[in-house]
Amino acid sequence: MVWIALDERQETGHAMIDEDHLGIVGIINQLAAAIIQHQSKEVYDQLLDQIIQGTKAHFARENRLMAEYHYPKAEQHVAEHVKLVRESLELKAWFDAANAESVMTVSLLHFLEEWWNQHIPSFDQELADFLAAQKP
């Protein structure tokens, strides 16, 4: 099950950033597959934790790159990362408390898809372009 497919829109051209994204999208697709197969809440939970931890680690890496290269738009981009982590944790808390797992998991996938389709082509692409221009 491929919930989110990779295309050139999601490829920023920065090797580390793209590799991170590929790893995270792989787990999102595993979660989508688990939902289709009606796996247990424990399985969803485990995958969700992996997505959140992987995302946090990835955002930290992007934030470090921005600091290292004195990225002029770092403030907005970092704020967007903070917002996305907060929203994903809220969703996770909601999921933990929810009975309607199918509704929850679908909401979650929509959230992840939105993150994937909106944050990467705008914020991450701009960052990748900036970083590419810094190289000698």
- Under the criterion CB under 5 A, does residue 115 sit at the interface with Fe ion? no
d(CA 63, CA 67): 6
Name the one range near Fe ion by CB under 5 A: 23-31, 32-40, 54-62, 109-117. Answer: 54-62
Nearer to Fe ion among residue 47 and residue 124 (C-beta) = 124
The distance of closest approach from Cβ of residue 61 to Fe ion in the complex, given in angstroms and rounded to an integer, is: 8
Burial 71-99 (b: 16+ CB within 10 A, else e): beebeebbebbeebeeebeebbeebeeee
| 39 three-state secondary structure | coil
- Of the candidates 46, 24, 50, 131, the residue with the CA atom closest to the CA atom of residue 96: 46
**Is the Cβ of residue 44 or residue 130 nearer to Fe ion in the bound state?**
130
Distance, in Å, from the CA atom of 45 to the CA atom of 40, rounded to the nearest integer, reads 9
Letters for 56-95 (x = contact with Fe ion by CB under 5 A, - = none) are: ------x---------------------------------
Q: Is 124 in the site for Fe ion (CB under 5 A)?
A: yes
Minimum distance from residue 124 beta carbon to Fe ion (Å): 4
Q: How many residues bind Fe ion (CB under 5 A)?
A: 3
